[in-house]
């Protein structure tokens, strides 16, 4: 078994998922894990470790919190220093038991950070309720900088010695400023009857993490993902195979995927490998191999379904259309994969398969149905699509897919001048959160692209994210987990409302220089 340092290093490099297995392996080491965790933290701070692609600080907070070791204070203080204006609640809970040790270094950290960045440190000092003249000086000093926040902290701190400073500020506040006066009065009332001292909440670290999490393949280099194709874990092999989906395949990757698709013992792995070989369907031997698997009724459904998805770019061919439609008729998982192949193809005859499934209840099926309803622009179904904006569990997870589909299918002429009005209409209908607004903006840009027009919101979104994926070397854009994906490809170059579609091998209209299928058609 790898030691704790090596396990954390593998997780930080994205080579293993952060799940029950990893955490339990560390917990099994008992208190002996703490020095190894500190060793990892110090090495990372000193720049001695490389290729850290995943931020493990949240996991480290939880691990140290579980062990409740006083030695964790060094890490906690560095975590606050690294992100002083957004201290996580878990970190606050972890620090509370160490209050007697923490006051002195927190005071030093506040002095280091200053008033502007020290708000959360002041909150921590107040929450620990260690009555110390230096803490009182910090908190009362903040009354001139942020009166509302400082009054709240002083009320929570509960030291009667704060009363003169609060009374002085109250006397200076105009009588008509009822809000601020009320906050100061509430703080003084709290000094008379302070709330009970906060106690650390019970903490079950295992409950905070998924039982099984695959490595984050999108952060790994191709060579690392190719190595994972030989993993003893079938789920890792399948995930590594799917990480090549909709990406340009190097000769080495293509050969490895073809070998895996033809030889792996698990149908699920073969299926994922076949789906990722979709980028090579312009090569007759690969296309014929995929077609043979799709139409071989002796093959497992998961394998045939993967082949169907891999053939999306040529799904208008009769022998492929026949195989996809046969899968659809089988129902269950076969139907789900068939519908995925259909919407990714954008071959219009497939549009008839989606509308009547909007009344079903299987989330996995509905995810594909919503995407098809959007990309085939089933405008007559927009009310049903909108009904997924607010569904109870487990269908609540489909809200983002429904928003994306609604933006593509909603009525109205598609022009660059109209999409901002469409965004306002969707916002009024669905009360979008900021991430959902970005998703809808992307979907409306996608709608424009499908009509051969340049996007409207692209530059706006790029300005918000200076590290946009177009500027990252070696990685193509992949959507956030849970978000609706844009079309994987455009199989035909037919006219839509008088405009030509963007071809899957055309340069992306966004200006990235990549092919559309590798950028906004990813």
Encoding tokens for residue 264? 């792996």
pLDDT at residue 197, as a whole number: 66
pLDDT at residue 459, as a whole number: 81
Res. 257: pLDDT tops 80: yes
Which residues is 515 bridged to in the sheet? 507
What is the spatial distance between Cα 92 and Cα 147, in angstroms, rounded to a whole number? 22
Which residues is 499 bridged to in the sheet? 496
pLDDT at residue 465, as a whole number: 61
Query: Stretch 482-489: mean pLDDT, rounded?
Result: 35
Burial zone of 39 (CB within 10 Å; 0-12 exposed, 13-18 middle, 19+ buried): middle
For the chain, give every domain's residue range.
4-192
Res. 484: pLDDT tops 60: no
Specify the 3-state DSSP secondary structure of 426.
helix
pLDDT at residue 85, as a whole number: 86
Query: Stretch 206-220: mean pLDDT, rounded?
Result: 95
Asked if the 4-192 domain carries CATH number 1.10.8, the reply is no
How many angstroms from the chain centroid is the CA of residue 93? Answer: 25
What is the spatial distance between Cα 466 and Cα 468, in angstroms, rounded to a whole number? 6
**Quick one: pLDDT band at residue 500, thresholds 50, 70, 90?**
very low
For 495, the enclosing helix (H) or strand (E) is: strand 495-496
Res. 101: pLDDT tops 90: yes
Measuring CA to CA, how many Å separate 216 from each of 53, 115, 213, 263, 291?
9, 38, 9, 25, 30
Res. 476: pLDDT tops 90: no
Percent of the chain with pLDDT over 90: 77
Query: Stretch 218-225: mean pLDDT, rounded?
Result: 95
Query: Stretch 346-359: mean pLDDT, rounded?
Result: 97
What lies within 8 Å, CB to CB, of 231 at 6+ separation is: 237, 240
Of the listed ranges 28-37, 80-89, 336-345, 480-489, the one predicted with least confidence: 480-489
Work out the number of other CB atoms within 10 angstroms of the CB of residue 155: 22
- Kindly report, residue by residue over 124-164, the tens digit of the pLDDT: 999 999 999 999 999 999 999 999 999 999 999 999 999 99
**Quick one: pLDDT band at residue 499, thresholds 50, 70, 90?**
very low
Would you mind telling me the total number of residues written for the chain in this entry? Answer: 522
pLDDT at residue 513, as a whole number: 42
pLDDT at residue 2, as a whole number: 80
């Amino acid at each position: 078994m790898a030691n704790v340092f090596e396990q954390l290093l593998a997780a930080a490099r994205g080579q293993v998922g952060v799940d029950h297995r990893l955490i339990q392996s560390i917990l099994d080491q008992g208190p002996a894990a703490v020095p190894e965790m500190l060793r990892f933290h110090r090495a990372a701070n000193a720049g001695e470790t490389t290729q850290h692609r995943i931020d493990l600080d949240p996991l480290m907070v939880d691990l140290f919190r579980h062990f409740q070791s006083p030695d964790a204070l060094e890490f906690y203080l560095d975590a606050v220093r690294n992100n002083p204006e957004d201290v996580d609640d878990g970190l606050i809970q972890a620090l509370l038991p160490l209050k007697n040790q923490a006051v002195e270094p927190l005071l030093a950290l506040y002095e280091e950070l200053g008033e502007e960045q020290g708000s959360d440190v002041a909150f921590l000092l107040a929450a620990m309720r260690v009555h110390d003249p230096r803490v009182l000086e910090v908190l009362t000093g903040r009354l001139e900088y942020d009166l509302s926040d400082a009054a709240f902290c002083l009320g929570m701190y509960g030291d009667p010695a704060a009363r003169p400073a609060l009374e002085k500020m109250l006397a200076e506040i105009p009588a008509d400023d009822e809000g601020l006066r009320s906050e100061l009065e509430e703080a003084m009332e709290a000094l008379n009857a302070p709330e009970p001292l906060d106690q650390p909440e019970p903490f079950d670290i295992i409950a905070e993490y998924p039982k099984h999490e695959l490595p984050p393949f999108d952060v790994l280099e191709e060579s690392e993902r190719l190595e994972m194709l030989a993993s003893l874990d079938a789920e890792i092999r399948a995930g590594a195979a799917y990480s090549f989906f909709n990406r340009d395949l190097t000769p080495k990757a293509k050969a490895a995927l073809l070998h895996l698709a033809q030889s792996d013992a698990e149908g699920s792995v073969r299926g994922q490998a076949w789906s990722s070989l979709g980028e090579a369907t312009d090569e007759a031997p690969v296309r014929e191999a995929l077609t043979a698997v799709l139409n071989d009724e002796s093959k497992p459904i998961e394998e045939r379904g993967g082949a169907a998805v891999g053939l999306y770019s040529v799904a208008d061919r009769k022998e492929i259309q026949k195989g996809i439609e046969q899968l659809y008729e089988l129902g269950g998982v076969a139907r789900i994969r068939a519908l995925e192949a259909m919407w990714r193809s954008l071959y219009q005859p497939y549009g008839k398969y989606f509308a009547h499934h909007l009344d079903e209840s299987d989330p996995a099926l509905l995810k594909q149905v919503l995407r098809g309803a959007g990309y085939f622009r089933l405008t007559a179904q927009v009310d049903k699509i909108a009904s997924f904006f607010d569904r109870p569990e487990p269908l609540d997870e489909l809200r983002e897919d429904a928003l994306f589909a609604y933006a593509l299918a909603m009525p109205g002429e598609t022009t660059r001048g109209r999409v901002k009005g469409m965004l306002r209409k969707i916002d009024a209908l669905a009360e979008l959160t900021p991430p959902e607004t970005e998703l809808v903006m992307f979907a409306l840009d996608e709608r424009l692209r499908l009509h051969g027009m340049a996007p409207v919101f692209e530059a706006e979104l790029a300005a918000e994210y200076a590290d946009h994926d177009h500027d990252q070397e070696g990685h193509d854009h992949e959507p956030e987990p849970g978000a609706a994906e844009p079309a994987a490809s455009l199989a035909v170059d037919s006219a839509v409302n008088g405009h030509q579609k963007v071809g899957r091998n055309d340069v992306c209209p966004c200006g990235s220089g990549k092919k559309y299928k590798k950028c906004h058609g990813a």
